[in-house]
Every structure is written in structure tokens, then in C-alpha cells.
Amino acid sequence: MPFQPGHIERRYIEVPLGASWVEATIQTSGFDTTRRFFVDAVQICPLQRPQKWESVATFSSPAAKSVAFPAVAGQTMELAIAQFWSSGIGSHESTIVEFEVVFHGININKEEVVLDGSEAPSRIDAEALLASEKLAPAALLNKLKIPYRPIDSKLCTLATNRDNLPSGKQILALALTYKFKLEDATEVKPQIPLLNNRVYDTKFESQFYMIYDTNRRIYAMGDVYPIFSKLPKGEYNLQLYQHDNVQYLEKLKQLVLFTERNLEEKDVIRLNFFSQPDGPVMGNSTFKTSVLVPGKKESIYLGPPSKDKLPKSEYPKYTPLLAKILEGLLSQSNVEDKIHHDEEVIDSANEVVDSIDREELAKFISLKSDPEDEEAEKNKKKMEITRDQLAEALYEKGLALADIESLKGQEASSLASSKDLEITRDQSQPEFGVQPDLFEENFKELKKWVNLKSSKYGTLYVRDVVEGLEQH
């Protein structure tokens, strides 16, 4: 095909059954200046968003380039190639293009693989239908998804002068609030499987989210197409807004949201494939490559991560893990037995506190490190994270103690905190009824590590002042 600047060639191709990707080769010749081409492929698939792929190829001299892109079997593909309008201007020579398309296909029985934490591998059946294909699977654990449920949900009516339809229908809004915490600065993308990437094929009119910290500073905003946003270390709230029929919105008050983050290169785990289901345990039958013959299936087994590459769970006093467990408890909502939940929070907070050598931590924080000493700065940062985890555990424990007391009075507070006393009680100590006040003890310990007059700790500070007045 000869091309001049701005020229477009379109072809409609029926993608054969069994195809799953396309390999296209562009061979250019007959020109003397740089040429730039745009390649575009679109497929209209029933009950799905259009499958679209595009790429740009630049040729400084006659050459061949290959590209590969996914395809849906059995659906017509519109394939277009165009020379940029500004490419080749001033030259009287046409660009001669030979465009070759080859369809390939390997069908598998699983779109997603779930690792359940056991030693059992996941079986995947692969089959080639068009022609013989080389099977060379690869898998990486390079992303982390954490689910959250809302800590608060509010259903309200929007403004009548703007959100009232001519038919008289009033638009409603559902605002969901999620809470999450980052130990280090990282890029995070919020995901809601039910709503994301759907516009015209959803019953809900719109969605909008924003991420802000405890000081209400907004760090990111987005809509139906969520994106990665870089966030510093800290605590964050994410609010999701949507609006439509009240009956639908009532069902979404516990909508699950995922935060997705890419793991650092040092934390990425390469998974192994095996030809036998016992391969991961026996340590043999590793699968590398094979040739799939049309019409004949082959089974491969994706093994779980090697235990030596996983974080070592055999450290029961590992503070970051215990802090994550506490964070998971705090993210629960609609708890039926609130007192029992507060007890669990107190126990989990105690585990965090007990895992930290507070004397060593206090000594380290009081020392001034040399900013030019990279190792010292790294240790300082690690200790600051530990201090924050300690303060957070003490803070949440204080809130739980205060909550129990407000729910069932002083007697319920004493009973609920008995588990905490069993750990520290000594035979020489007086009986339970005359034990020192747990809330006050916890408050004094927290006071050693943070400024209690800051906005975050205002609830505990006011509570302590009130208790002091009551005692007087």
C-alpha cells in the first residue's frame, strides 16, 4: 500500500475461532525522510466495552517492525494504519507499506488464579486451536490488593434546584468513607470492581472519589477510571460519592473497596510452574516450555510462593504484622457485639505494645543522628515507624476502654479489661476491685510518646480531663 501524509487504510477482518492475540509486521520502503505511522485495532463485542488497542511506529529508514496485541475470537476486527499528517511533508516520495497479520491462540480455563495460602498449586489447562504454539508461562507476584469496608455511610438528598429531574425524580447521594494507613510513601490506586470502568452499561449515574489525610488535605481525586496517586506515609480517608435509586444505594452501604499498590522490586516474587501437581512439594517437575499441538490439552500447575521468599510469620513479636492485624480490626464496621469488638481491639493493641522494647525505643529517639550517615538515617526512620505504631496502639486501646465504659458503665469497663489485667497481675497486688484505672494508665503511657493536645488525640485528652474532674 502506498502512503502519503494523512492517508488512512482500513481493513475489516474476521478473527478466527481460537485466536487470542495478533502479531502484526510492518515493512516500510521507498522513502528518504522519517515516517511515522499510527496503528489502531477495535473490536465490538456483545455486552462488553469495545476492545481497543493502538500504537505508534516511527521509521527513520526502510525497516520492519512487529507488534502484538490481544484479540477476541469470532468477532470482526477493524484494523487501521495511517501515516501522520506531518510525517513526510516536503517529500514527493510515497511510503510503501507491506502489512502482515498473523493470528495466534492459546486458550486457558482460568482468567484469574487465586493462591489460597496452602501448598496446593493451581491447575491451568492450556490448548492451542489454530496451530502449534510454544507455551512459556511466567508469573510474578508484584501487586498488593487490600480490601476495605466503609467506616461510615451517609445517604442524603441533593440540591433540588440542580439535581431534580423534569419528571420530578429527586437524585440521591450515597457517600461512603473508608480509612487506610500507609507505613511508607507509595503509589495507591483505589478500585471498586462493581463500578470501575463502566459508564453507559451501569445503572448508577456517576461516581467520584477523593483521598485526604487527617488534616483534610486532599491528595487525590478520581472517577470511574481510577488512577495511581503518590501518597506520603500517614493515615488517609477515602470518600466515594454516587447517586441514584434509594433502594439500590441501600444495598451499597457496605461496598468493598480495594487499594492496589505495586510492590517494590526487591519484594517482587517470581512464581514457578510445574508439570505435576506434587511438583511444589517434591521440588521437581519444573515446567519451562513446551509445544502445544492443536486439539490436545496440556495441564500446568502454578506453585505457591516459596516459603523462604515470604516474610517470616514465625516471628510472633513482629510489630508491623501485629499493627496490621489491629488495623484490620479497626476497619470492621456494623459490629453487632460492640463490647466484644472493643475487647478484641484492646487485646490486639496490647500485643503491639508488648512487642516493642520501649526503653530501647526511647533511648534511640532521644539521640541525634548524623544526616549524612545513611545507615543511621535508615535506622532512625525505622524507629520512628515503630514509635508511630506504638502510639497508634495506645490511642486505639484508650478509645476502646472509653467506649466500653460509656456502653455499660464502670462495671462493664472493669470486666472487659480483665484480660489485660491477667497478664500483668501479681500475687502481691490487691484484688480486682482496687486495681488502678486502666484508662488513666494507658493515657499516661501515650503521653510519653505524643503531644496529646494535638487534634488527633483530642478525644482522649477531653476524656481524661472529664475523668479528673469527676474524681475531684
Print pLDDT tens along the chain (472 aa): 999 999 999 999 999 999 999 999 999 998 888 999 999 999 998 878 889 999 999 999 999 999 999 999 999 999 999 999 988 887 888 999 999 999 999 999 988 887 777 788 999 999 998 999 999 999 988 888 888 989 888 888 887 777 787 887 888 888 999 998 887 888 999 999 888 888 877 777 788 999 999 888 999 999 999 999 999 988 888 888 777 778 888 888 889 999 999 888 888 888 999 999 998 888 888 998 999 999 899 999 999 887 777 665 756 788 888 998 898 888 877 777 888 888 899 999 999 999 998 888 888 877 776 777 777 777 888 888 889 999 999 999 988 888 888 776 645 445 545 555 454 444 444 333 334 478 888 888 888 888 877 777 777 767 665 565 555 5
Residue 129 DSSP code: S
Q: Which of 247, 277, 309 is the last residue of a domain?
A: 309
Q: Minimal CA–CA distance to 175: which of 193, 194, 154? A: 154
The cell for 179 is: 480509612
> Bridge partners of 100?
25
Q: Determine the pLDDT at residue 218.
A: 93
184 Cβ contact partners less than 8 Å away, ≥ 6 residues apart: 233, 385
Q: What percent of the chain has pLDDT over 70?
A: 89
Residue with cell 519484594: 267
Residue 273 and residue 135 share a domain: yes
Distance in angstroms (rounded) separating the CA atoms of residues 364 and 407? 40
Do 304 and 394 sit in the same domain of this protein? no
Amino acid (1-letter code) at residue 153: S
Same domain, 291 and 363: no
Amino acid, single-letter form, for residue 210: M
71 and 131 share one domain:
no
Q: What DSSP letter does each residue of 354-422 carry, written as one string?
A: HTS-HHHHHHHHHSPPPTT-HHHHHHHHHHHHHHHHHHHHHHHHHHHHHHHHHHHHHHHHHHHTHHHHH
pLDDT in tens, 21-30: 999 999 999 8
Does some domain include residue 115?
no
Same domain, 161 and 200: yes
Q: How far is CA 287 from CA 137, 273, 291, 301, in A?
A: 9, 5, 12, 8
C-alpha closest to that of 35 among 92, 107, 95: 95
> What CATH number should be reported for the domain holding residue 191?
2.60.120
439: left (phi over 0), alpha (psi -120 to 50) or beta: alpha
401: phi then psi, degrees, rounded to nearest 5: -60, -45
- Residue 96's pLDDT is what? 93
Could you tell me if 353 and 300 lie in one domain?
Answer: no
Alpha carbon separation from 289 to 135, 272, 297, 306 (Å, rounded)? 5, 12, 14, 21
pLDDT recorded at residue 264: 83
Q: Which residue has the cell 497481675?
A: 425
Give the pLDDT score at 418. 57
- Domain identity same for 347 and 465: yes
171 Cβ neighbours under 8 A, 6+ residues apart? 157, 158, 163, 164, 165, 205, 243, 244
Q: Residue 467's pLDDT is what?
A: 61
Q: Are residues 339 and 394 in the same domain?
A: yes
What is the per-residue pLDDT for 425? 44
Number of domains present in the structure of the chain: 4
Give CA separation, 267 vs 141, 262, 273, 302, in Å: 9, 10, 19, 19
Range of the domain at 87: 2-105
**Quick check: is 7 in a domain?**
yes
In the prediction, which pLDDT does 428 show? 42
Decide if 117 is inside a domain: no
Q: Is residue 110 part of a domain?
A: no
> In this structure, are 293 and 193 located in the same domain?
no
Pair 334, 443 in one domain = yes
- Residues 334 and 364 occupy one common structural domain: yes
Are 36 and 89 part of one and the same domain? yes
Residue 77 is part of a domain; what is its CATH number? 2.60.120.260
Q: Can you read off the three cell numbers belonging to residue 86?
A: 506531518
Q: Is residue 369 part of a domain?
A: yes
